[in-house]
A and B are shown apart, each in its own frame.
Chain A
């Protein structure tokens, strides 16, 4: 059985597309519009997702705050999390929060699938 992936992205088209393409690959995809919704979804979930893909810039709660909050939740702290951003300037050292991987928009589909494969 394919694992669960949580996608947190404020842009409707991007979010829907990721859900579609990952679903096509057989993943069970959950989606949220911002970090806060993402945290709520996690709290409601019994089985932790195998991977979280989170956008950097979002209203209400951005990817950075989400990641900090997630790391505080013992049940989800070890879920691999990938930062997904259109800002090419963002690097691991600059953002001050640890992510398992970093993907730049627009993402190549093969790269996305490879990452899903790797972490799930």
Chain B
């Protein structure tokens, strides 16, 4: 019995040993896991193929060594290997991931499970240690982590752009430095708020925020420029780009919103636009001025050409009788019948020549006056005299002309109007106005008044003649202008221009009141005392 019992025991023992051998072989052949045993002090007692592959040591090299040879010097110096064993004893098992060293000194990322091995009396007999090389996974994870970190840092660190993430409902999910700088909110103040907080009230009411998210969802992105509001309620001009973010199934999982403060650019643009508009306006104005100047120049050229034509016509008028009278006299002398000329005829001949020469002289004087006025050389020689007396003498001097004109001239004057004027120039003005009245008076009565108040002398010519249309009245004092009418009346058109210049040089003015076909009143007002320009 005892023998059979011994045999049985022996048999069982053998079977167990055989199983252990097989198990040892199995463990030894596992290549993906480093599986080895440590004694209670952490010295290596077994080694498998996987351990050799992962760590590079052969079993003969490593058995009997302390397992801390796989640890980084830092871990060793802080007794991490011992800590691991302690934890395994305490909890039965210890697992961690960490950097370990290969024989060749390179690091690998290891998943380590240490199990405390106890015998049937629960006494520690050693440790099993299973190590996996997870370096590849770790490297990939690290790469991803670094990339995400880099991205996060970049995202957060961007200062010139507000880069924020919105949740699908438009609430703010993240906030960067640029957003803080541009919009003024700290992350804790703003995260979770709806993004309409950045929009002017009017835009919010119009549903602009919802519209922007809808656009971004439908088309992928929404781009805009417009006014946005900072925390301190000031506004800034923003360039905004909202992009929808989708998951692999295409669902919108949020939005990125990139905002730039381009207020300065906007201001510069606005200033530029304003400057451009101003420039355009100025160009327009200048062009208009040039057009007007050109028009005036053309008008001046036209007036000058017309004047030259009128002047040559006017000069020919007194030349005609002068030439005919002289030729007539020459003919008589040639025919030797000068004696036959009657005294009357001879007198008319001489008078006609004299008058014609005077007329030519007057025309030339007028032309010279215009030239003097143009050159600013009209100099007045003041003397004190009685204007009434001068007026009366001129009317008397032109008795013949008055009679020829057919107009009756009445003269009303206060007994004396003493003043200081240029005698010859005032005479010229009076004569001009008288000749005009006779020329355009249509044979109707002409009234002349001379009077004064405390400061001014007045000369008034009232005729009932052809009159001047209102539209023409401004023109009549201009150089070379004669009122166009259906009556062809000669004249250089310089009389009123010269008269006005003379009166203005005296510090006075000359005014016209007239109705077409009813007559004209010219009023001259001159200071009684010398005018100092």
- Let me know if B214 is at the binding interface, CB within 8 A: no
- Chain A's closest residue to B400 (CB) is A12
- Let me know if A60 is at the binding interface, CB within 8 A: yes
Interface segment out of the listed A16-24, A46-54, A75-83, A91-99: A16-24
- Let me know if A114 is at the binding interface, CB within 8 A: no
- Let me know if B352 is at the binding interface, CB within 8 A: yes
Measured as residues with beta carbon below 8 angstroms from the partner, the interface class of chain B is: 20 to 34
Contacts A13-B318, A14-B317; A106 near B323 (Cβ below 8 A): yes
Please determine whether A17 and B319 come into contact, CB atoms closer than 8 angstroms: no
Expressed in whole angstroms, the Cα–Cα distance for A110 and B334 within the complex equals: 13
- Let me know if B356 is at the binding interface, CB within 8 A: yes
Which residues of B have CB within 8 Å of A62? 488
Map CB proximity to A onto B433-451 as digits: 1 under 8 Å, 0 otherwise.
Answer: 0000000000000000000
Contacts A57-B490, A86-B320; A109 near B309 (Cβ below 8 A): no
Which residues of A have CB within 8 Å of B318? 13
Q: How far is the CB of B493 from chain A (nearest CB, A)?
A: 14
Please determine whether B488 and A13 come into contact, CB atoms closer than 8 angstroms: no
Please determine whether A106 and B328 come into contact, CB atoms closer than 8 angstroms: no
Contacts A57-B488, A57-B490, A60-B487; A11 near B317 (Cβ below 8 A): yes
Expressed in whole angstroms, the Cα–Cα distance for A44 and B328 within the complex equals: 31
Which residues of B have CB within 8 Å of A105? 316-317, 319-320
- Let me know if A59 is at the binding interface, CB within 8 A: yes
Contacts A17-B321, A24-B328, A59-B488; A106 near B316 (Cβ below 8 A): yes
Expressed in whole angstroms, the Cα–Cα distance for A89 and B312 within the complex equals: 11
Q: Of residues 97 to 120 in A, which have CB atoms within 8 Å of B's CB atoms?
A: 105-110, 112
- Let me know if B345 is at the binding interface, CB within 8 A: yes
- Let me know if A87 is at the binding interface, CB within 8 A: yes
Contacts A87-B309, A87-B313, A89-B309; A17 near B324 (Cβ below 8 A): yes
- Chain B's closest residue to A109 (CB) is B327
Contact of B327 among A10, A60, A108 (CB under 8 A): A108
Please determine whether A109 and B321 come into contact, CB atoms closer than 8 angstroms: no
- Chain B's closest residue to A56 (CB) is B488
- Let me know if B348 is at the binding interface, CB within 8 A: yes
Q: How far is the CB of B483 from chain A (nearest CB, A)?
A: 13
Contacts A20-B348, A59-B488, A59-B489; A14 near B327 (Cβ below 8 A): no
Contacts A13-B318, A105-B317, A106-B323; A21 near B487 (Cβ below 8 A): no
Please determine whether B316 and A13 come into contact, CB atoms closer than 8 angstroms: no
Which residues of B have CB within 8 Å of A106? 316, 319-320, 322-324
Q: How far is the CB of B173 from chain A (nearest CB, A)?
A: 93
Which residues of B have CB within 8 Å of A112? 324
Q: How far is the CB of A80 from chain B (nearest CB, A)?
A: 20
Please determine whether B328 and A21 come into contact, CB atoms closer than 8 angstroms: yes
- Chain B's closest residue to A13 (CB) is B321
Q: How far is the CB of B421 from chain A (nearest CB, A)?
A: 32
Contact of B313 among A14, A21, A86 (CB under 8 A): A86
Expressed in whole angstroms, the Cα–Cα distance for A57 and B352 within the complex equals: 21
Contacts A24-B328, A106-B323; A12 near B404 (Cβ below 8 A): yes
Please determine whether A18 and B488 come into contact, CB atoms closer than 8 angstroms: no
Please determine whether A18 and B313 come into contact, CB atoms closer than 8 angstroms: no
Please determine whether B404 and A109 come into contact, CB atoms closer than 8 angstroms: no
Q: How far is the CB of A64 from chain B (nearest CB, A)?
A: 10
Contacts A17-B320, A57-B488, A86-B320; A109 near B331 (Cβ below 8 A): yes
Which residues of B have CB within 8 Å of A11? 317, 320-321, 490
- Interface centre among A17, A56, A112, by most chain B C-beta atoms within 10 angstroms, is A17
Which residues of A have CB within 8 Å of B489? 59
- Let me know if A58 is at the binding interface, CB within 8 A: yes
Q: How far is the CB of A31 from chain B (nearest CB, A)?
A: 13
- Let me know if B281 is at the binding interface, CB within 8 A: no
- Let me know if B14 is at the binding interface, CB within 8 A: no
- Let me know if B325 is at the binding interface, CB within 8 A: yes
Please determine whether A21 and B309 come into contact, CB atoms closer than 8 angstroms: no
Contacts A86-B320, A87-B309, A89-B309; A13 near B328 (Cβ below 8 A): no
6 A-B pairs with least C-beta separation:
A57-B488, A109-B327, A86-B316, A17-B321, A106-B320, A59-B487
20 sample A-B contacts, Cβ–Cβ < 8 Å, listed by A number: A11-B321, A12-B404, A13-B355, A14-B321, A16-B352, A20-B325, A20-B328, A24-B332, A56-B488, A58-B488, A59-B487, A59-B488, A86-B316, A87-B309, A87-B313, A105-B316, A105-B317, A107-B320, A108-B327, A109-B328
A residues within 8 Å of B by Cβ?
10-14, 16-18, 20-21, 24, 56-60, 62, 86-89, 105-110, 112
A-B contact sample (10 more), CB < 8 A, given A57-B313, A58-B488, A106-B320: A12-B404, A13-B352, A16-B321, A16-B348, A17-B325, A17-B328, A17-B352, A20-B328, A21-B324, A110-B327
